Amino acid sequence: MPGSDRKAPYAYAGLDRVFHEKARLGIATSLAGHADGLSFSDLKALCGLTDGNLSRHLQVLEEADFVALEKGYAGKRPHTLCRLTDLGREQFMAYLAELERVLRQAARATAGRSVDYRKTSPQAD
Amino acid sequence: MPGSDRKAPYAYAGLDRVFHEKARLGIATSLAGHADGLSFSDLKALCGLTDGNLSRHLQVLEEADFVALEKGYAGKRPHTLCRLTDLGREQFMAYLAELERVLRQAARATAGRSVDYRKTSPQAD
């Protein structure tokens, strides 16, 4: 489709879907603040997720090499340590920078536009 | 599950999925900046979406009463005008405020945490 690729300022191609999904955004933020990693159960509590949901989202993050999972034992109980990889941290920073750009654009779009200016000309009262 | 509902600071319940999906975030931002609305084809170009994708996402926004679609004609050609409703604008502003909060939280989490501080104690060199 020639011509269909013209500038699309609201396409937000830079917003990586791996981080943008809101459960994964919570997971990445949690892990970003804990350089030593977090246990599966701490992460579950911080993000308010079920076992199944957390597992599913961690798998997406692990497949992208953004998160590393270390499975071991704490005493006799299975214990999974989750942490951001260096790549994950770097890409998450890039995602946040893009998100900030989007937010600034949206703030500009909403600023002073809550009233339709064409309908409030001085003549209109 | 008693007890599973304890504070989950990274659950981001306030991030409305209707706006958070990235194509719809682009659509809402585009419309927020155009109080008089945008035509389907202008919106498609601004957001870099196909007809099918834009239709699908507009339907989600319309079902939430966040967007109103006025179907008419421009000359003999069908013409759809898309605009944010008052509710849509109000909820989008609330979504953006929540997104800003999330971004601040993530910025705090990433700040100064790129090095694992437990491994860089004075003794460790």
pLDDT digits (tens, 9 = 90+) for B82-111: 999 999 999 999 999 999 999 999 999 988
Tokens 């703030």 -> residue: A107
Structural domain includes residue A1: no
Q: Give yes or no for B109 touching A (CB within 8 A).
A: yes
Q: How far is B82 from B24, CA to CA, in rounded Å?
A: 13
Q: How far is A18 from B73, CA to CA, in rounded Å?
A: 40
pLDDT tens per residue, range A2-21:
333 348 999 998 899 999 99
Structural domain includes residue A5: no
Structural domain includes residue B10: no
Q: Give yes or no for A2 touching B (CB within 8 A).
A: no
Res B81: pLDDT: 96
Do B86 and B44 meet the contact criterion of CB atoms below 8 Å apart?
Answer: no
Q: In this structure, what CATH number is given to the domain that contains residue B28? A: 1.10.10.10
How many domains is chain A partitioned into structurally?
1
**Interface contact flag, A33 B99, Cβ < 8 Å:** no
Q: How far is A41 from B124, CA to CA, in rounded Å?
A: 30
State the number of CA atoms in the 13 A half-sphere of A22 facing the CB.
Answer: 20
Structural domain includes residue A62: yes
Q: Give B-chain residues touching A58 at CB under 8 angstroms.
A: none
Res A74: pLDDT: 85
Q: Is the pTM of this model over 0.95?
A: no
Q: Give A-chain residues touching B103 at CB under 8 angstroms.
A: 96, 99-100, 103
**Interface contact flag, B32 A99, Cβ < 8 Å:** no
Res B55: pLDDT: 97
The whole-number average pLDDT for the span A45-71 is 97
The whole-number average pLDDT for the span B32-50 is 95
Question: At A30, is the secondary structure helix, strand, or coil?
Answer: helix
Structural domain includes residue A10: no
Q: How far is A12 from A3, CA to CA, in rounded Å?
A: 19
Range of weakest confidence among A15-24, A32-41, A63-72, B116-125: B116-125
Shortest Cα distance from A79 to chain B (angstroms)? 19
Q: Give A-chain residues touching B49 at CB under 8 angstroms.
A: 11
Q: How confident is the model at residue B65 (pLDDT cuts 50, 70, 90)?
A: very high
Structural domain includes residue A6: no
Number of C-beta neighbours around residue A65 at 10 A? 12
Q: In what order do the strands lie in the sheet with B38-39?
A: B38-39, B77-84, B67-74
Res B95: pLDDT: 96
Q: What mean pLDDT is reported for chain B? A: 86
Q: Give yes or no for A104 touching B (CB within 8 A).
A: no
Which residue among B12, B26, B110 sits closest to A93, beta carbon to beta carbon? B110
Question: For residue B120, what are the domain limits?
Answer: 15-124
Structural domain includes residue B97: yes
Do B60 and B23 meet the contact criterion of CB atoms below 8 Å apart?
Answer: no
Q: How far is B99 from B19, CA to CA, in rounded Å?
A: 10
Structural domain includes residue B89: yes
B39 pairs with which residues across the strands? B81
Share of residues in chain B with pLDDT > 90 (%): 71
Do A35 and B109 meet the contact criterion of CB atoms below 8 Å apart?
Answer: no
Q: Give yes or no for B9 touching A (CB within 8 A).
A: yes
